[in-house]
Amino acid sequence: MQLIRPIFVTGACSGIGLALCQRLESAGSHVVSIDINDRSSELHSLDHWRCDLSDPTSVDTLIADLESCYDLTLAGSLINVAGVPGTIASASVIEVNTLAVRKLSRTFASWLPPGSSIVNVGSISGNGWQERIEAHKEFLALSDEDARAWWFDRESSIGIDSYSFSKEAVIVWTMRHAGELLGTGIRCNIVSPGPVETPLLPTFRKQIGDERLNWVISHAGRPAFSDEIAQAIEWLAIGESTWVNGHHLVVDGGYTSGLLSGWLDTTNAPPKRTD
């Protein structure tokens, strides 16, 4: 009988995370859901853990609990979907979107067997990572404690909002982590969605402004559905993608390709909100 390896998913109870867990369960996977909220009634798995990823102590407790309850050398994937918008305190944005992802990824990488995978979720808001690559390399080389201090010192001068920086950082982290894991048989990839029809979409409207968000959406025709992002994540996590590693997969209906190739005219693009 084929071994069913558990798949661990953060941010599992709404939006993309919920759609992903539903896809995985439909495929017969053993899903371990992780979220700040109670288990969603739309999920069948009873394996659910509550964790506030903005609280490092809560993350440490989660790690200890998972290690005591599962043989994590038999795990199949870690999928970091959980994220928060830039409308909350910037320190919490960095904590959840980057530092918690890094801590969980590093910890799971010490357990995962060859053939397993880590998939992180970024954002097209992080597409400018190459402009700040040296800053991200410096930031990611630090311990969590020192990284918090680094951000506190540079937040006002880094030239970008906390959400975009956190997503740039997790993109760079994922690619660098893939390099660290070469030879282990563990793959590490990242999916960056554009606007998605989730409960957080109104919050992102507040973050970047209605005009800007509507302009972005207009060039893809509509926001994505959560399941459309989940399709890409599922493929990287358990699909036939065994030679895809360290890849930044943008899933935005073609918007980013328009920016990169020049068919999208940005001359009259509304600016992002900065207040």
Alpha-carbon distances, residue 80 vs 110, 117, 144, 151, 243 (angstroms): 16, 11, 18, 22, 20
Question: Can you tell me the distance from the alpha carbon of 25 to that of 191, in angstroms, rounded to the nearest whole number?
Answer: 20
- Asked if residues 124 and 252 have their Cβ atoms less than 8 Å apart, the reply is yes
- Asked if residues 171 and 248 have their Cβ atoms less than 8 Å apart, the reply is yes
- Asked if residues 178 and 187 have their Cβ atoms less than 8 Å apart, the reply is yes
132 is written with which tokens?
């700040």
| Active-site residue, from 108, 139, 151, 163 | 163
Question: Can you tell me the distance from the alpha carbon of 17 to that of 230, in angstroms, rounded to the nearest whole number?
Answer: 7
Which helix (DSSP H) or strand (DSSP E) does residue 191 occupy? strand 187-193
Q: Where are the alpha helices (DSSP H) in 12-55?
A: 15-26
- Asked if residues 200 and 225 have their Cβ atoms less than 8 Å apart, the reply is no
For residue 109, count other CB atoms closer than 10 A to its CB.
Answer: 17
Is 255 a catalytic site residue?
A: no
- DSSP assignment string, 64-93: HHHHHHS-GGG--EEEE-----TTS-HHHH
234 is written with which tokens?
């599922």
Q: Which residues are catalytic?
A: 163
